[in-house]
Amino acid sequence: MDDIRDRADIERLVRAFYGRAMNDPMIGYLFTDIAQLDLEEHVPEITAFWETILLGAQTYTRGAFAPHASLHRKAPLRAAHFERWLMLWHTTVQELFDGPRAALAMVHADRVARAFHRRLQGLPSDDPAPQQSGPIQLTVIKSG
């Protein structure tokens, strides 16, 4: 198995991940029903995000947090959602690639998930369910 080498590899990873995530019984509704994600519109943007992180391409210039904050206001993103996202991401990366960039894709996803979850806990949402307070420990479940 090869490492992530170029934008085409990243797009392959992103498409495989979103194919899995959008059909997932736990988090799929966040993409399909709440965010109403247009995958064909989203793929180039999220590919640019990962291309910037993994290849240093500087093709992503937007902020990644704002769309997640907007989604959180509609349907609170809980620790379990982030844990599931990470599990699906790690599984997809490990099934497709092996090498330093693949490892970086998983490490960076862990970092982003923890940072986003922490920041979102202070934001209001339309959901009346109470927000969890205090530090949260996200557990990454490695497959394989």
Average pLDDT, the chain: 85
Determine contact, residues 77/30, Cβ cutoff 8 Å.
Answer: yes
Determine contact, residues 76/127, Cβ cutoff 8 Å.
Answer: yes
Question: Is residue 143 a part of any domain in this protein?
Answer: no
Domain residue limits at 99: 7-120
Nearest-angstrom CA–CA distance, 10 and 50 = 7
67-80 average pLDDT score:
84
Nearest-angstrom CA–CA distance, 38 and 123 = 25
- What CATH code is carried by the domain that includes residue 17? 1.10.490.10
Determine contact, residues 60/48, Cβ cutoff 8 Å.
Answer: yes
Question: Is residue 51 a part of any domain in this protein?
Answer: yes
- DSSP string for residues in 4-51: P-SHHHHHHHHHHHHHHHTT-TTTHHIIIIIS---HHHHHHHHHHHHH
- 63 CB neighbour count, 10 Å cutoff: 9
Question: Is residue 126 a part of any domain in this protein?
Answer: no
**Residue 138 has what pLDDT?**
45
Determine contact, residues 121/133, Cβ cutoff 8 Å.
Answer: yes
**Domain count of the fold of the chain:** 1
- Is 59 or 30 the better-scoring residue by pLDDT? 30
**Residue 77 has what pLDDT?**
86
Q: Is the pLDDT of residue 1 over 50?
A: yes
- Is 46 or 131 the better-scoring residue by pLDDT? 46
Q: Is the pLDDT of residue 123 over 80?
A: no
Question: Is residue 104 a part of any domain in this protein?
Answer: yes
pLDDT digits (tens, 9 = 90+) for 36-65: 889 899 899 999 999 999 999 888 777 778
Provide the 3-class DSSP secondary structure of residue 83: helix
Instruction: Label residue 143 by pLDDT band (50, 70, 90).
Output: very low
